């Protein structure tokens, strides 16, 4: 069975098959986005098909009820609020992880029948600035490029994208493009040296948030050098005023603003100017900014002015984050658009009235995500239905979001998991079908529509999101418009709407799919929109002729006044905190957190900082630190690395209260947002940092059903089926703290008696129940050895002693996991390097690391650089 990966916007094809051992995933060789590749997250998908933690049936006010009763409650309570306070008192908050069919129904119900614009989505935190940028420049939210372009490009710019970790399969295609064409030049623009810098010929570690200046300077350089494309000029509007706005941005001034050497800036500008086939791939480092839309337009300006768009290997290519971020943009998931990429105009509202046969279609945009939760906090919006997203973790100003959800009269959450930071606030919990159970379509970064197919029965009473929405619509009295029995019916309606009175005016048109039978929809092969009379098989590349979607057919340059972060660092808040993703985790960890091997690369929340800053603030490697902003604080582990520029921190966005105490970074992030797109500035928060002292730190291994007693800091790390490891930090005597965890029937084996050094193993009938190691700093333990002992208790007294010591007596520890696919650790790799494995290929041959998904190749290369013996370095230098 073929389906599509539910993680990132690359949208890889997955092939799934079952045998006696269970489900197996592999890459779908035929899928155009991935041609058989999968990254480590995709490759671990079968391990997420487990019932652990699932929400299995509807809950109303904490009680299990039938679906009928839950849906009645949703409808009655929404109806009551709408009657008393009007339709704008209710809202939906949806997600780029819904299927297009789900998303279409949610939007239709809110904007078409409840009659409010109040449906927004987590894509507001993600793609909103890119949408605004494209619409302002091209007249439509139409991504011009496709992955095929990688193979044709002469220069590829990665701006604010760590694709090596966040779009790994697309990144592998970049690696391949470079192998096939060594002349390809790659420029990475990122304040930190990310894993993607592995491929960079030029890395520009610019000052946080200064990209607007860099790209304005580029436009100025292009204009000065006469690099404007003469064929494109008649198709461009607002050129003089845009060039005038860029005129002051000499490379000298850019160098000052971006804090970069002038020659590096000029090297970038020269590369961009000298080649026609230039692709700029951008992501959250650009979008998540208080001036994100203008940064997107600054990129678009440079491409349009120099005619680098619409041809193989060239164009402004915004990478989408979620599997169906693009689908959400198609159906109108954003509060400021209607459906089928229509804007809020009276004509469009009217068009929808006719198409949906409703007289209630919204005529005003609704509240955007951050504004929506602020309105909930003020009590203006009284009900919210959250579907497929975890805003208590992912929205900025997390403490205010929690307060808002706390006071909200009616919180409905449909999710696949029972316990999330958001579901803690739910009055009504609805169990949704998960990947593998749900059935529909998604659209990836390159506009490729592909199918997510169901291949397993739903857990418990889980139902599709579209079905819940349609059931509630029927109870609200809109039955006729929501009477679908199958998702293909919804897809056909969505496809028909995209062509309805379109006449070539709206880029999004898949009317060619409006007649698919249910079977044809089921078999639908991946294809790129538009799909219509002109392009019956879809279309990979847009704007191959310079006709754009503004009424005059021209593209618009947009004058940009570069702005830095909304709030600069200061004496009280001296460090700029950046946030983002790690390789093996997905967002709030509800799925990837279940898979032990995905928690081996990084198992705890951390802050990466430069060693000079560590010295200044008295922070040693691996210490626990407290980070504080004007909005909140967190506790996390310190990693010292020269990949950070001094004065900047990087903290992953993933950890939350299900996995860690005080590890939610969004409690610190300010709610500042771009005035055009409403997208928050998740990448730049001024903060301060200090060591956080505890009397002891511990490692605790437990059988899963036990939770640790009250402790100042904890972090939960599932290590194997039914066994969890906790990192702990607390005050007082660890022996006293541990007392509350012990049962009288256990036999205890103990070592150490000083306050901060204490080991204990608890046994019951020959099985280990608990293992505890405490020390003044983080105890050094061989976690794989201890976890294994829970499953296979050690037989010899020597190995029981080793267990109490927490370390293997014989053999070497593996160290931090680098290759998650084959579980290969750093120490194994460095040992192999020292013994002469001096290339990724040699390491792969010896240890298998890097031979499956390839996500760890940048790290392998770095380890080779660091650990290769001197003489060997010279050899590898010559061979290059
Ligand atoms: N492993 C993994 N992959 C994912 C996801 C995941 O959760 N885990 N999520 C998916 C989603 S929804 C999204 S949106 C994408 C996000 O994909 P990316 O945008 O690639 O990921 P981030 O880590 O958020 O940020 C990218 C980079 O922006 C840099 N940056 C920060 N500030 C600036 C700046 O001022 N200028 C520039 N030029 N760069 C800056 C950061 O240092 C970081 O390296 O990833 C998708 N893929
Ligand atoms: N500081 C900081 N914050 C950020 C970001 C950042 O870079 N830095 N990035 C932002 C970005 S780009 C994004 S996209 C967001 C992501 O943030 P969220 O959307 O909040 O994160 P997820 O963990 O993906 O949440 C998805 C939820 O939906 C559930 N779910 C999964 N499948 C289904 C389904 O089919 N139906 C239903 N009903 N539920 C389902 C999951 O269990 C989970 O609870 O975070 C944003 N927040
Ligand atoms: S790159 Fe990885 S996470 Fe993204 S779609 Fe492909 S397999 Fe899934
Ligand atoms: Mo995202």
DSSP result, 529-560: SP-SSS-TT--S-S-SSS--SSTTS-EE----
Q: Domain 2-47: state its class.
A: mainly beta
Nearest protein CA to atom 3 of ligand 2, as residue: 394
Q: Is the peptide bond before 530 cis (omega within 30 degrees of 0)?
A: yes
What is the predicted pLDDT for the residue at 808?
60
Q: Which atom of ligand 1 is nearest to the CA of 96?
A: 12
pLDDT digits (tens, 9 = 90+) for 427-460: 999 999 999 999 999 999 999 999 999 999 999 9
- The pLDDT mean for the chain works out to 94
CA-to-CA dists, residue 12 to 4, 169, 527, 788, angstroms: 6, 8, 13, 34
Question: Is the predicted pLDDT of residue 1 greater than 70, yes or no?
Answer: yes
Range in 264-268, 509-513, 521-525, 807-811 with the lowest mean pLDDT? 807-811
751-761 confidence digits (pLDDT tens)? 886 666 899 99
Q: Same fold for the domain at 54-126+324-500 and the one at 128-318?
A: no
CATH assignment, 575-691: 2.40.40.20
Q: Is 653 in the pocket of ligand 2 (CB under 6 A)?
A: yes
Q: Which atom of ligand 3 is nearest to the CA of 8?
A: 4
Q: Residue 401: which residues within 8 A CB-CB, separation 6 or more?
A: 373, 377, 391, 392, 395, 666
**Quick one: pLDDT band at residue 878, thresholds 50, 70, 90?**
very low
Over the stretch 659-713, which tens digit does the pLDDT of each residue have?
Answer: 999 999 999 999 999 999 999 999 999 999 999 999 999 999 998 666 777 899 9
Entry pTM: 0.94
Ligand nearest to the CA of 462: 2
> 292-305 and 211-224 helices cross at what angle (nearest 10)?
20
CATH architecture of structural domain 817-879: Orthogonal Bundle (1.10)
Query: Which of ligand 3's atoms lies nearest the C-alpha of 33?
Result: 6
Residue-level pLDDT at 510: 98
**What's residue 793's pLDDT?**
86
Q: Which residues pair with 686 in a beta bridge?
A: 576
Ligand 3 atom index nearest CA of 11: 5
Pocket test for ligand 3, best of 14, 16, 25, 41 (most atoms within 8 A of CB): 41
Ligand 1 centre to CA of 645 (Å) is 17
C-beta of residue 128 within 8 angstroms of C-beta of residue 334: yes
User: Is any atom of ligand 3 closer than 6 Å to the C-beta of 41?
Assistant: yes
Find the DSSP H helices in 32-167. Answer: 40-43, 67-85, 100-107, 128-138, 163-166
* pLDDT at 870 exceeding the cut of 70: no
d(CA 600, CA 717): 9
**Could you tell me where the DSSP H helices lie in 710-853?**
734-739, 783-791, 797-805, 826-834, 840-847
Domain boundaries, the chain: 2-47, 54-126+324-500, 128-318, 575-691, 696-792, 817-879
CB atoms within 10 A of CB 241: 12
What length is written for the chain?
Answer: 880
Which of the listed residues 120, 127, 415 should we mutate to test ligand 2's pocket, taking the one with most ligand atoms within 8 A of CB? 415
Q: Evaluate if residue 601 carries a pLDDT over 50.
A: yes
pLDDT for 705 equals 65
- The total of other beta-carbon atoms located within 10 Å of residue 610's CB is 20
CATH for 54-126+324-500, options being 3.40.50.740, 1.10.150.20, 3.30.470.30, 3.90.1640.10? 3.40.50.740
Average pLDDT of span 292-302: 98
Q: Using one digit for the tens of pLDDT, what is the confidence trace for 554-573?
A: 999 999 999 999 999 999 99
Asked whether 176 and 199 are in contact (CB, 8 A), the reply is no
C-alpha 3 – ligand 2 centre gap (Å):
21
Check if the beta carbon of residue 370 is closer than 8 Å to that of residue 678: yes
What pLDDT score was predicted for residue 69?
98
Query: How far are the Cα atoms of 356, 401, 460, 521, 793 from residue 491, in angstroms, in the given order?
Result: 14, 34, 26, 8, 55
- Which class is 128-318 in CATH? alpha beta
Question: What is the reported pLDDT for 879?
Answer: 35
Residue pLDDT, tens place only, 647-658: 999 999 999 999
402 — alpha (psi -120 to 50), left (phi > 0) or beta?
alpha
Residue with CA nearest ligand 2 atom 39: 388
Pocket of ligand 3 contains residue 8 by CB under 6 Å: yes
- The closest alpha carbon to 118, from 69, 78, 75, belongs to 78
673 lines ligand 1 (CB under 6 A): no
Confirm or reject: Cβ of 310 under 6 Å from ligand 3: no
Token digits of residue 87: 């339709």
Q: Are strands 22-27 and 13-19 parallel, antiparallel or unpaired?
A: antiparallel
* pLDDT greater than 50 at residue 810: no
How far apart CA 482 and CA 472 sit, in angstroms, is: 9
Which among 281, 309, 300 is positioned nearest to 200, based on CA atoms?
A: 281
CB 41 within 8 A of CB 34: no
Closest CA to 574 of 686, 699, 411, 417: 686
Dihedral angle sign, alpha carbons of residues 865, 868, 873, 876: negative
d(CA 181, CA 440): 38
């Amino acid at each position: 069975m073929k389906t599509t990966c539910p993680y990132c916007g690359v949208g890889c094809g997955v092939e799934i098959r079952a045998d006696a051992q269970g489900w197996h995933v592999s890459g779908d060789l035929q899928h155009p986005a991935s041609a058989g590749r999968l990254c480590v997250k995709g490759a671990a998908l079968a391990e997420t098909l487990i019932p652990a933690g699932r929400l299995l049936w509807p809950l109303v006010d904490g009680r299990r009820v039938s679906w009928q009763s839950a849906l009645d409650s949703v409808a009655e309570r929404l109806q009551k609020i709408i009657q008393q306070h009007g339709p704008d008192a209710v809202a939906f908050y949806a997600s780029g992880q819904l299927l297009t069919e789900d998303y279409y129904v949610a939007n239709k119900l809110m904007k078409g029948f409840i009659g409010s614009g109040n449906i927004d989505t987590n894509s507001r935190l993600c793609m909103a600035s890119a949408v605004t940028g494209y619409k302002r420049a091209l007249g439509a939210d139409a991504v011009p490029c496709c992955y095929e372009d990688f193979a044709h490009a002469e220069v590829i710019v990665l701006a604010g994208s760590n694709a090596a970790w966040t779009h790994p399969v697309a990144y592998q295609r970049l690696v391949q493009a470079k192998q096939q064409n060594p002349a390809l030049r790659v420029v990475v623009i990122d304040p930190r040296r990310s894993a993607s810098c592995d491929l960079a010929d030029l890395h520009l570690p610019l000052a946080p948030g200064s990209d607007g200046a860099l790209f304005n300077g580029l436009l100025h350089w292009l204009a000065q050098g006469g690099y404007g494309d003469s064929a494109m000029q008649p198709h461009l509007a607002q050129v003089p005023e845009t060039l005038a706005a860029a005129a002051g941005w000499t490379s000298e001034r850019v160098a000052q603003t971006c804090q970069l050497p002038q020659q590096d800036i000029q090297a970038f500008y020269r590369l961009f100017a000298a080649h026609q086939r230039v692709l700029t791939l951008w992501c959250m480092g650009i979008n998540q900014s208080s001036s994100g839309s203008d940064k997107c337009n600054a990129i678009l300006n440079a491409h349009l002015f120099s005619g680098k768009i619409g041809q193989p290997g060239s164009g402004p290519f915004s990478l989408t984050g979620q599997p169906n971020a693009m689908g959400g943009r198609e159906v109108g998931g954003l509060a400021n658009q209607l459906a089928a990429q229509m804007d809020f105009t009276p004509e469009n509202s009217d068009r929808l009235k006719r198409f949906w046969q409703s007289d209630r279609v919204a005529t005003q945009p609704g509240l955007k995500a951050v504004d929506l939760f602020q309105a909930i906090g003020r009590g203006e919006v009284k009900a919210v239905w959250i579907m497929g997203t975890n805003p208590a973790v992912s929205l900025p100003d997390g403490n205010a979001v929690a307060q808002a959800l706390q006071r909200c009269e009616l919180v409905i959450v449909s999710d696949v998991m029972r316990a999330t930071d958001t579901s803690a606030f739910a009055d009504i919990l609805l169990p949704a079908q998960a990947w593998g159970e749900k059935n529909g379509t998604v659209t990836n970064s390159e506009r490729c529509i592909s199918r997510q197919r169901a291949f397993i029965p739903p857990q418990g009473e889980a139902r599709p999101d579209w079905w819940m929405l349609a059931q509630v619509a029927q109870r609200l009295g809109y039955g006729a418009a929501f009477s679908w029995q199958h998702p293909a019916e919804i897809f056909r309606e969505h496809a028909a709407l995209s062509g309805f009175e379109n006449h070539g005016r709206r880029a999004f048109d898949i009317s060619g799919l409006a007649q698919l039978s249910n079977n044809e929809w089921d078999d639908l092969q991946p294809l790129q929109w538009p799909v219509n009379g002109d392009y019956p098989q879809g279309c990979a590349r847009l704007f191959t002729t310079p006709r754009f979607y503004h009424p005059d057919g021209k593209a618009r340059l947009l004058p940009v006044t570069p702005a830095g972060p909304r709030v600069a660092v200061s004496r009280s808040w001296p460090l700029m905190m950046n946030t983002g993703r790690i390789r093996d985790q997905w967002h709030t960890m509800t799925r990837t957190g279940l898979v032990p091997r995905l928690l081996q690369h990084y198992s705890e929340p951390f802050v990466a900082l430069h060693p000079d800053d560590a010295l200044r603030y008295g922070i040693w490697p691996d210490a626990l630190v407290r980070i504080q902003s004007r909005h909140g604080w967190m506790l996390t582990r310190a990693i010292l690395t020269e990949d950070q520029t001094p004065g900047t921190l990087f903290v992953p966005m993933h950890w939350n209260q299900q996995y860690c105490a005080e590890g939610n970074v969004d409690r610190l992030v300010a709610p500042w947002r771009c005035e055009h797109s409403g997208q928050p500035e998740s990448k730049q928060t001024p903060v301060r940092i200090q060591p956080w002292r505890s009397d002891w730190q511990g490692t605790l291994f437990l059988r899963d059903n036990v939770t640790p007693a009250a402790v100042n800091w904890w972090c939960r790390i599932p290590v194997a089926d039914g066994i969890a490891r906790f990192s702990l930090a607390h005050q007082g005597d660890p022996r006293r703290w541990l007392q509350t965890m012990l049962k009288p029937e256990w036999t205890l084996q103990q070592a150490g008696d000083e306050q901060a050094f204490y080991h204990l193993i608890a046994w019951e009938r020959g099985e280990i129940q608990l293992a505890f190691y405490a020390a003044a700093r983080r105890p050094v333990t061989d976690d794989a050895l201890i976890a294994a002992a829970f499953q296979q208790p050690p037989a010899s007294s020597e190995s029981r002693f080793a267990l109490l010591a927490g370390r293997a007596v014989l053999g070497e520890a593996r160290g931090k996991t680098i290759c998650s696919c084959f579980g290969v650790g750093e120490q194994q790799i460095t040992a192999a390097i020292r013994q002469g494995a001096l290339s990724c290929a040699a390491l792969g041959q010896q240890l298998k690391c890097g031979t499956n998904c390839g996500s760890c190749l940048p790290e392998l290369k770095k380890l080779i650089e660091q650990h290769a013996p001197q003489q060997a370095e010279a050899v590898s230098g010559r061979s290059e």
